[in-house]
Structure 1
Amino acid sequence: MPITSDEDIAALLRETRTIAMIGASDRPDRPSYTVGQFLMHHGYRVIPVNPQITGEHLHGEYVWRDLSQIGEPIDMVDIFRRSADAGAAVDQAIAAGAKSVWLQLGVYDATAIARAEAAGLKVVADRCPKIEIARLNIAKIER
């Protein structure tokens, strides 16, 4: 069962420092662009993942093809993919040793969520961290 309580969501956001964003976009009109930018300004390190723009830089960070290339600890994987593609992203998060996965607004895959939880990951689904940070008044992360 995904995390739903305000207390648990706030705790997850407070303990997270590094977020890999699958589906990060270099287009300013896309939600993943503005969410990534917001998270970076809020103190998180956001590592963009998008095979279509691999090798470019987004918000000052190198864009990776997939999570396996990153080679450093990932606290959270923020998934900006269709629900049908969420399972593959969750499998990457498990293989990369992430601590949590966050499925964005409109993204829900019960089977993928169950796999993530069975692997010990915390899961938030069908929510946006940008909205939750503002709603829960989460202080800026100090690095």
Structure 2
Amino acid sequence: MVDIAERALSSANTIAVVGLSRNPAKAAHAVPKSMQAAGFRIIPVHPSADELLGERVYRSLTDIPEPVDLVDVFRPAAEAPGIAHQAVEIGARSLWLQEGIVSPEARRIAMEAGLDYVEDECISVVRSLRNITRR
């Protein structure tokens, strides 16, 4: 049986990462970099950077001019509901809150809109354990 996390990853090619860090020592940089190395297209969302992981950076999800399959969140739980609304607005299929991030409100928003929803899980660990790649 395929669980929601596996379904979300297996059906994703393009992942928008909200809160991708400039600092390579932080998980918010290393995790998206590992997803990129596994063949996923990463679109960084950051308030002030211009380029991260060799990709153009956007200020918000709604600024991204192409379809996004999955939104991966590295921001505090208090910001998750607003990010969930944006994920719904851009037509993302999945919303993923990284390990340590839990938001009942974001869960409600995502699930009411029919998005796959994962919280408090590291996307890179799940990808590795399930051996999901895009190459």
Counterpart of 1:51 in 2: which secondary structure? Answer: coil
**Corresponding residue of 2:106:** 112
Contact conserved, 2:8 with 2:70, CA < 8 A, in 1? no
1:83-113 Cα offsets, whole Å, 9 max, x none, are: 1111111111111111110000111111111
1:6-54 Cα offsets, whole Å, 9 max, x none, are: 633222211100000000111111111101110000000000001122x
**Shift of residue 127 of structure 1?**
0.3
Residue 35, structure 1, aligned to residue 31, structure 2: yes
Matches within 5 A, 1:85-104: 85-104=79-98
Gaps of 5+ in 1: none
1:89 and 1:124 map into 2 onto residues whose CA distance is 14
For 1:57, give the aligned amino acid. Answer: E
Contact conserved, 1:6 with 1:136, CA < 8 A, in 2? no
Matches within 5 A, 1:124-143: 124-138=118-132, 140-142=133-135
Question: Could you state the TM-score of these two structures normalised by the residue count of structure 2?
Answer: 0.94
1:90 and 1:7 map into 2 onto residues whose CA distance is 20
Question: Could you state the TM-score of these two structures normalised by the residue count of structure 1?
Answer: 0.89
Aligned identity (percent) is 36
1:8 and 1:106 map into 2 onto residues whose CA distance is 18
Counterpart of 1:47 in 2: which secondary structure? Answer: strand
**Corresponding residue of 1:18:** 14
Gaps of 5+ in 2: none
Counterpart of 1:130 in 2: which secondary structure? Answer: helix
- What is the number of equivalent residue pairs in this alignment? 135
Counterpart of 2:44 in 1: which secondary structure? Answer: strand
Contact conserved, 2:4 with 2:116, CA < 8 A, in 1? no
